[in-house]
A = this chain, B = another copy of it.
């Protein structure tokens, strides 16, 4: 018989704890049974404590899943590919500043993305139950690739998405984890930009949310100043930020996918700092959020 030492019903903090749960209610209700596509950056996996970052990310995905939301994880792995190329003595080749993906590079990229990065994410998720199924974009025609530019070799754009397998896995309460290798339907694989692929998959499923976890604090008006993070931004404002160069580099395909999603009436789009603990939960389930939401004015 365990007598309760506390005086009030629930002890210190009960009201605060209840308040957080109650605040989360309308968000959870709105997303339950719907799909959230989360792009998990390769850079997060190669950061200061990648194992801890991944474990925190996996816990968040498992929470979404536990409350009935259907996450799809899409990931890249540029740093890991580069590291393996170095270990294998493969020297990157550039043309007009863009990396050329020859057959050997493609094979290494596929091996690392599907056989290493994808596996690490699946493993982290499986610590919360048999939740995850690793997929390559080649599986069951998920991502059909078209060559971007013959001079670049096997770098592909998204030609078509067949989200049927993903939808079936979601219907079975499983979490698809997608490495963005596509196939041209004639047996040739291509490496596809994971940010772009995430947007295309979110459109095809279709998803209610498209979330980019990056290694910066959302979209910033002044790229050097984290304090200039925007809570909310419109597609038109993003066009201006890109035009002025305030948004640049790897943020471009993310922003392009967000703008396209919002302008076509697709999923709401978010860019978050994936290094912050439980950023995903806080952005989706609290009023304030912790990143940048792209939305119509």
Question: Which residues from chain A sit less than 8 Å from chain B, CB to CB?
Answer: 1-4, 7, 9-11, 14-18, 20-22, 24-26, 28-29, 32, 59, 62-63, 66-68, 87-88, 107, 110-116, 118-119, 122-124, 126-127, 129-136, 138-141, 162, 165, 168, 172, 174, 181, 183, 185-187, 189, 217-218, 221, 227-234, 237, 273, 276-279, 281-282, 285-286, 288-291
CB distance from A116 to the nearest CB of B (A): 5
**A10 touching B115 by the CB < 8 A rule?**
no
Other A-B pairs beyond A22-B281, A25-B63, A126-B138, 11, CB < 8 Å: A2-B230, A4-B229, A7-B227, A29-B62, A110-B119, A114-B119, A114-B134, A115-B118, A126-B183, A165-B172, A168-B168
CB distance from A272 to the nearest CB of B (A): 8
Q: Which residues of B contact A132 (CB under 8 A)?
A: 139-140
CB distance from A87 to the nearest CB of B (A): 6
**B140 touching A174 by the CB < 8 A rule?**
yes
**In whole angstroms, what is the CA distance A8 to B147 when docked?**
42
Q: Which of B9, B15, B133, B187 is within 8 Å of A127, CB to CB? A: B187
**In whole angstroms, what is the CA distance A291 to B29 when docked?**
27
**In whole angstroms, what is the CA distance A118 to B135 when docked?**
11
Q: Which residue of B lies closest to A111 (CB)?
A: B115
**B122 touching A133 by the CB < 8 A rule?**
no
**In whole angstroms, what is the CA distance A147 to B262 when docked?**
39
**In whole angstroms, what is the CA distance A9 to B286 when docked?**
13
CB distance from A98 to the nearest CB of B (A): 24
